[in-house]
Amino acid sequence: MTGSLRAICGSVALGMLLAITGCATIPTAGPIEDGEPVQAELDEPIIRQIPRPPDPGLSPDDLVSRFLAASASFEGDHEVARQYLTPEAADVWDPAAGVSVFDAERTLTLDQKGRVVNVGGRQVGFITADGALTPVVPKERFVDQFTVERVGQEWRIAKLPSGLLLSGTDVDSLFRSYSLYFLAPGSDRLVPDPVFVPVGQQGLATSLVRSLLDGPTRWLEPAVETAVPPDTSLQVDSVPVENNIAQVDLSTDVLDADEATLRRFSAQLVWTLMELPDVQGVRITTNGAPLQVGAEPPQQDRQTWELFDPNRLPDAAAAVLIRRGAVHRIVDDRAVAAPGPFGRGRLDLREPATSPDGLLMAALSDDGQQVYLNQGMTNPNVEVIAKGTDFSRPSFTADGSVWLVDRFGSDEQRSTIWRKPIDGEPLQVRAPELRDRRVQQLRLSLDGTRVAVVVQAPSGDGKLFLGRVVRTANGVSVQALRPLGDSIDDIRDVTWQNASSLVVLGRDRGTVLQPFEVGVNSVVDQVVGTTPEGMTSVTAAPGFNLLASRRGFSDIWQNDVDWSVYLRGSDPAYPG
């Protein structure tokens, strides 16, 4: 997913960010086909910062103010910004340690002795050294201290925090979001790992390959795998792009890997590099000779590795809905009763879900206290896999596991999360950060490595979090929850639009209930079209239109340029 820092969690309404823009229209329903990546934001002109070296006679606070402005330039490893530092500070300052992002309003105050400048403001995000954006709920104040001393006749900064301190406006003009691609454990499905990369410098392809070889960001690392062969590096520290082909020359360490590993590694490289708008193919070599990966050609693109597509769904993938308590599948824009017991209307079902391959189907009883599972669609047997108090809609991953949340749990004080593997009994999922929290909705990404969770805030409103799913010998756990779309209040529903973004139904600081696209990189956009009144649920899938409905049997709406009535029914859901 490409894009600039259009909105940081917790700061959409702050003046530091650009206005929210409408999303590109999702293709009409039908077979899923590969399309050209949207590069609109990458085509925007890059605003280069022209730093000013220090003038003679600067006061301590003017010195720090000018230093902060100059540090927004990456030219020559912040060469001009270092001129504001003492020689000793210039040697130890590490601008690559991370970026603290603050809103547009900052203050500079000088202490009584005139040697410490306090820079205050509200922090709204942090870009870690590996490029991952960590949203921060805006604090009332943060203060960074800059100690100054005389060097000859001029003031210079002698002590300062590591990393950069940039406004959201600076970040929006200097950084773009790209995805590195890793692998779901035990799977050939790729998982995007978004990173923010400075674009005011040469060598984006080189930067992305370096980062891919280094491995996932710290947040995602415990949830994914990488097929990078041990000790593999660039033979020459450069990935030139010639005639739209990225040339990746690797060290001979890559030759120690078997063919299966090379296929997975090649898919990671190709999908990562083709995030760039000027890359139409990738040529992989080792010490100058073409790297042979099975029968694949030396020059590869995403179609070469389409089986690794993170958004892959079967051609026959279809949405389901409820009519009069029975599950129906949407086939050729018509609602057709599902085969097997779920489609007969005897169980009085609601909130159905299907596995990505369409072979498993789950649904809730009408009172939400039981979860039914039907394997094979035409299998006459229905299994009750869980009983509880108030379940939310089940969620499937590509391996056939179904996840369940009993909102009230066994003691009516906390929610309980369950995971039922395709060939086993339901097991409770550990989620320490959700202890004593009310989980309203939960959706797994198709790759099964990340989970979107809507949690009830103290105000009673639903708030959105993204967690990683970690699998160990001791079981499965949800960890490291981070807020997404913090400006969106009263969230009622969430769904995965693709491997890189979610659609949430909520209110942007008190506005009407409407859908928003929220990237896993924290970028927020409003879904285009006038939102129908009374919307209570929304569902999405790669290559399909958004569908939405309100509680009970009524109209189902489809978003195709604008919202329109599509079918009669309720509780629509795409696979997953």
Contacts of 557 (CB under 8 A, 6+ apart): 532, 535, 547, 548, 549, 563, 564, 565, 566
pLDDT band of residue 552 (cuts 50, 70, 90) is: low
Amino acid 380: pLDDT: 84
pLDDT over 70 at 546, yes or no: yes
How does pLDDT run across 483-529, given as a tens digit for each residue? Answer: 888 778 889 999 999 999 999 999 887 678 889 999 998 888 878 77
pLDDT band of residue 381 (cuts 50, 70, 90) is: confident
Indicate the domain borders of the chain.
60-173, 181-308, 320-573
pLDDT band of residue 194 (cuts 50, 70, 90) is: very high
Instruction: Please tell me the pTM assigned to this model.
Output: 0.87
Amino acid 488: pLDDT: 86
How does pLDDT run across 5-31, given as a tens digit for each residue? Answer: 444 433 332 222 222 223 322 222 333
pLDDT band of residue 195 (cuts 50, 70, 90) is: very high
pLDDT band of residue 201 (cuts 50, 70, 90) is: low
Structure tokens given for 13: 């309404």
Q: Best-predicted range by mean pLDDT among 103-117, 215-229, 331-345?
A: 215-229
Q: Nearest-CA neighbor of 320 among 82, 504, 537, 470?
A: 537
pLDDT over 50 at 1, yes or no: no
Could you please state the CATH topology (level 3) that the domain comprising 60-173 is classified under.
Nuclear Transport Factor 2; Chain: A, (3.10.450)
Amino acid 43: pLDDT: 41
Asked if residues 534 and 18 have their Cβ atoms less than 8 Å apart, the reply is no
For residue 147, the number of C-alpha atoms closer than 13 Å in the C-beta half-sphere is 5
Q: What are phi and psi of 380, to 5 degrees?
A: -75, -10
Average pLDDT of the residues in 208-218? 95
Contacts of 454 (CB under 8 A, 6+ apart): 439, 440, 441, 442, 462, 463, 464, 465, 491, 493, 494, 504
Q: Nearest-CA neighbor of 477 among 549, 542, 403, 532?
A: 403
Domain 320-573, CATH among 2.130.10.120, 3.90.1170.30, 3.40.50.300, 3.90.870.10 = 2.130.10.120
Task: State the alpha helices, DSSP H only, in 18-177.
Answer: 60-70, 79-82, 87-92, 168-174
Q: Count CB atoms within 10 A of the CB of residue 408.
A: 17
Asked if residues 363 and 327 have their Cβ atoms less than 8 Å apart, the reply is yes
Contacts of 509 (CB under 8 A, 6+ apart): 12, 13, 487, 489
Of the candidate ranges 388-397, 505-514, 554-563, the one whose mean pLDDT is the lowest: 505-514
Structure tokens given for 356: 């990505």
3-state secondary structure labels for all residues of 176-229: EEEEEEEECCCCCCEEEEEEEEECCCCCHHHHHHHHHHHCCCCCCHHHCECCCC
Amino acid 169: pLDDT: 84
Average pLDDT of the residues in 461-474? 92
pLDDT band of residue 51 (cuts 50, 70, 90) is: confident
CA dist 97 and 57 (Å) reads: 30
Amino acid 26: pLDDT: 23
Contacts of 538 (CB under 8 A, 6+ apart): 493, 495, 503, 504, 505, 515, 546, 547, 548
Asked if residues 64 and 119 have their Cβ atoms less than 8 Å apart, the reply is yes
pLDDT over 80 at 549, yes or no: yes
Burial (CB count <10 Å: 0-12, 13-18, 19+), residue 483 = middle
Of the candidate ranges 73-77, 269-273, 565-569, the one whose mean pLDDT is the lowest: 73-77
Q: What are phi and psi of 61, to 5 degrees?
A: -70, -35
Contacts of 423 (CB under 8 A, 6+ apart): none
CA dist 187 and 170 (Å) reads: 39
Q: Nearest-CA neighbor of 67 among 46, 82, 45?
A: 82
Amino acid 271: pLDDT: 98
Q: Count CB atoms within 10 A of the CB of residue 243.
A: 8
Q: Nearest-CA neighbor of 576 among 310, 179, 365, 178?
A: 310
Of the candidate ranges 89-93, 293-297, 524-528, the one whose mean pLDDT is the lowest: 524-528
pLDDT band of residue 531 (cuts 50, 70, 90) is: confident
Place of tokens 């969770």: 453
Average pLDDT of the residues in 279-286? 96
CA dist 451 and 404 (Å) reads: 12
Average model confidence (pLDDT) for the chain?
86
* pLDDT-above-90 percentage for the chain: 60
CA dist 574 and 329 (Å) reads: 10
Structure tokens given for 238: 């450069």
pLDDT band of residue 138 (cuts 50, 70, 90) is: low
How does pLDDT run across 156-187, given as a tens digit for each residue? Answer: 999 999 999 998 888 888 888 999 999 999 99
How does pLDDT run across 234-279, given as a tens digit for each residue? Answer: 999 999 999 999 999 999 999 999 999 999 999 999 999 999 999 9
Q: Nearest-CA neighbor of 332 among 28, 120, 75, 559?
A: 28
